[in-house]
């Protein structure tokens, strides 16, 4: 792991130079362990790691966390602070002054950096400029290595086994919330970390027409479609899978839209590959649904990057001309949502390979009719 971290540091410094950044400042979030191997919780005590373009890492942290940064496999200087909050700013000032960053251009992650940490950084270096650096961190994390893909595959395998173990509990009269609870138990039982990518989405009947529904106490009914969207976590890497089921026989139109979404999923997976713009994958799925007359009912992008975050780069949407390259991992999840009636979504996790696109997920994609 130490060799991997040093390699990532070198790549980061090249990116900082290319993007005219003097440093990158990170607080606890997915990029921090990716670059340091260190894990911290977000709390009222700020933790910030600063990566200068040259020189050792600078780590501002509370004294109680100081043992974590002993004997690191790379050069770092720690600036621990005591419990008295009035002294915390001194640690930030000392770190930035030592590295000559008081008037620097420092990159941050807007999706993760809190106002708390930003205010300490600004007070310590009032002449510095703090700018978004998502493109730099995305350029690091978008390309998964063999170990990262193996962790994601394990997260997929755990999630798929957990869903199969949950299916016998699904029947008319059981509530969405009860199914979500059973699925959560099965995810843990099959080996997922408890830090799920998100709480499972279990939505039946009219609720399934809401792509990001929250499980309710609505009992499932015969003739419902049931959308289950969920994932597992292995070593911080996520899976994100959606399958749609039918409780007994359903209306012909619901069977029809399930077939359309299946074809859209297949078309997008076939379109994905190295050298293909992300927009073309979205287009492949969308054309199938639009041709069938349901374009207005496909209300979101076709997919999103997946890894240490459940939503990260690359984003599979119609305006994204980013070219897909080997090692990129993302979801393909077209859907049709008939508001107030029923909805269908089929979501797979895929990785771009040297010669195509490989699906990490292999659960049946066809509409599965559950016994009553």
Domain regions of the chain by residue span:
2-141, 146-370
**Tell me, what's the pLDDT at 137?**
95
CATH for the stretch 2-141? 3.40.350.10
Which one, of 372, 368, 371, 367, lies nearest residue 335 by Cα? 367
Share of the chain above pLDDT 90, in %: 98
pTM of the model: 0.95
Q: CB atoms < 10 A from the CB of 184, how many?
A: 19
Q: How far is Cα 30 from Cα 43, in angstroms, rounded to an integer?
A: 15
Regions of the chain where pLDDT drops below 70: 1
The two domains 2-141 and 146-370 share their CATH topology (first three levels equal): no
CATH 3.90.230.10 fits 146-370, yes or no: yes
Q: How far is Cα 344 from Cα 145, in angstroms, rounded to an integer?
A: 33
Mean pLDDT for the chain overall: 97
**Tell me, what's the pLDDT at 291?**
98
**Tell me, what's the pLDDT at 2?**
78
Q: How far is Cα 343 from Cα 171, in angstroms, rounded to an integer?
A: 18
What digits encode the pLDDT tens for the residues 11-30?
999 999 999 999 999 999 99
**Tell me, what's the pLDDT at 285?**
98
Are 218 and 238 in contact by the 8 Å Cβ rule? The answer is: no
**Tell me, what's the pLDDT at 1?**
64
Q: Calculate the CA dihedral of residues 274, 275, 281, 284 and round it to 10 degrees.
A: -110
How many CA within 13 A on the CB side of residue 225? 31
Are 201 and 229 in contact by the 8 Å Cβ rule? The answer is: yes
């Amino acid at each position: 792991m130490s060799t991997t971290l040093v390699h990532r540091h070198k790549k980061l410094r090249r990116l900082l130079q290319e993007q005219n950044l003097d440093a990158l400042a990170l607080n606890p979030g997915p990029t921090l362990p990716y670059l340091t191997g260190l894990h911290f919780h977000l709390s009222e005590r700020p933790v910030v790691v600063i990566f200068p373009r040259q020189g050792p890492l600078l780590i501002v942290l509370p004294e109680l966390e100081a043992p974590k940064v002993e004997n690191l496999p790379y050069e770092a200087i720690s600036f621990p602070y005591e419990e008295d909050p009035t002294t915390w700013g001194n640690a930030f000032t000392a770190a930035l002054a030592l590295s000559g960053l008081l008037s620097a251009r420092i990159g941050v992650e807007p999706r993760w950096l809190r106002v708390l940490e930003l205010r300490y950084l600004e007070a310590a270096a009032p002449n510095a400029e703090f700018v978004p650096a998502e493109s730099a961190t995305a350029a690091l994390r978008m390309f998964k290595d063999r170990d990262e893909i193996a962790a994601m595959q394990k997260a997929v395998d755990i999630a798929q086994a957990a869903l199969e173990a949950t299916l016998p509990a699904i029947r008319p009269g059981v509530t969405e919330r009860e199914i979500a609870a059973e699925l959560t138990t099965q995810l843990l039982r099959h080996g997922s970390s408890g830090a799920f990518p998100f709480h499972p989405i279990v939505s039946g009947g009219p609720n399934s027409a809401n792509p990001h529904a929250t499980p309710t106490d609505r009992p499932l009914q015969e003739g419902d479609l049931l959308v289950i969207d969920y994932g597992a976590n292995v070593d911080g890497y996520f899976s994100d899978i959606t399958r749609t089921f039918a409780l007994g026989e359903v209306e012909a139109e619901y069977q029809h839209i399930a077939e359309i979404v299946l074809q859209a999923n297949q078309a997008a997976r076939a379109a994905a590959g190295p050298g293909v713009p992300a927009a073309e994958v979205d287009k492949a799925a969308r054309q199938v649904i639009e041709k069938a007359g349901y374009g207005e009912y496909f209300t979101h992008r076709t997919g999103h990057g997946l890894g240490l975050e459940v939503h990260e780069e690359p984003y599979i949407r119609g305006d994204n001309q980013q070219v897909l390259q080997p090692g990129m991992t993302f979801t393909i999840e077209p859907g049709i949502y008939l508001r107030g009636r029923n909805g269908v979504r089929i979501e797979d996790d895929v990785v771009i390979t040297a010669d195509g696109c490989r699906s990490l997920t292999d659960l049946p994609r066809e509409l599965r009719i559950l016994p009553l």
